[in-house]
Structure formats: C-alpha cells, structure tokens
Amino acid sequence: MYRTLADLGADVIKIEAIQYPDWWRGVDRRPAYVEEQMYEMKPEFCVMNRNKRGITLDLTRPQGLSLAKRLLAGADIAVSNYSVDVLPKLGLGYDVLRTLNPRLVVMSMSAFGTNSLYRNCRAYGSTLEQGSGLPSVIGNPGDPPVMSHIAFGDAVGGLNGCAAVLVALIRPHHRTRTVH
C-alpha cells in the first residue's frame, strides 16, 4: 500500500522502530554490515521501499511519540499495519489521531480486522493464506492443502487499502465519519 501511494506521487514517510527493523533489511548484524549501513542498500529493501522517506522513532518514549504526533498533525493519511491494540496502547488511538488532525484519513490494516473473532491475532501473509482457505484449493484434488508460499494477502490487502484511502481522500464527506 505505502509503495503504491509513493509510486503515485504521495510523500510517504515510513516510521520504523529500531527494535523491529523492516524484515526486508535482512538480519545480518556483522560489524561491517552495520558500520557500512548495508541494511539501507539491500536490493529487496530498496525495491519494497522505493519512493518513500523513512524515519526511526521509538514510540514508547515521549520524544518519539511527540515527533510522530507532529508528523500526523500535518498528514492526509495515516496507515497502520499493527495489530489492533498497538496504537491505542502507544497513545495514538483513533480518538487521539482525530483530535490531532480532524481531516486525517486513518487506515488500520490489522490482519483480521477490528471486530473479528481473531482480532487479537498477529499475522503475516502466510498466516492470512491459511485463514483464507487458499491452501485447500491449491495442489491436487484429494491431496492435503498446499501453501503457495506467496504472500497474496499482503499485496492484495495493500492494493485494496490504497484504493480505500484514495476514495476517502477524494470524497471529503468520508472524512467526517468512520466505520468501525
């Protein structure tokens, strides 16, 4: 979603926690890799994060939270792919964001949504693949379910999320109400 918005010309600022780096950076922690900042140059990371700006913030510290709030006060869109309770626990729940910036379009892309039975489950694309039932239709009839090992949920969810926030931006009356 973020990459698509950036590709379309949006000024995307990705907030990343140093404690939980983007997994596209890899997990190489050898001194030379870190000292040379090779994690910024990994081809997969650069492709997935093209056209975006990035900042590292610790949202559990007052300084990080304050800077995030300053960024959000001037933003058009805020997108979160955390599980549903993370931002409220950090002091960035919808009620706070709405007060900071009443025009802000907020998109929560938690794996199983805010109202489902599985709302508290954290997931990646492969988890969503299992939850969707896709493995039951891949492979040969009569054989056990087969994983595709392609995180379809990430790409499809991102494109649908992008479309949703673009509609919300071009239809201003959507900004005055929310659906939970």
So which residues are the catalytic ones?
Answer: 154
Exposure of 5 in the CB half-sphere (CA atoms within 13 A): 23
Q: H/E/C letters for each residue in the chain?
A: CHHHHHHCCCCEEEEEECCECCHHHCCCCCHHHHHCCHHHCCHHHHHHCCCEEEEECCCCCHHHHHHHHHHHHCCCEEEECCCCCHHHHHCCCHHHHHHHCCCCEEEECCCCCCCCCCCCCCCCHHHHHHHHCHHHHCCCCCCCCCCCCCCHHHHHHHHHHHHHHHHHHHCHHHHHCCCC
In contact, 82 and 114? CB cutoff 8 Å: no
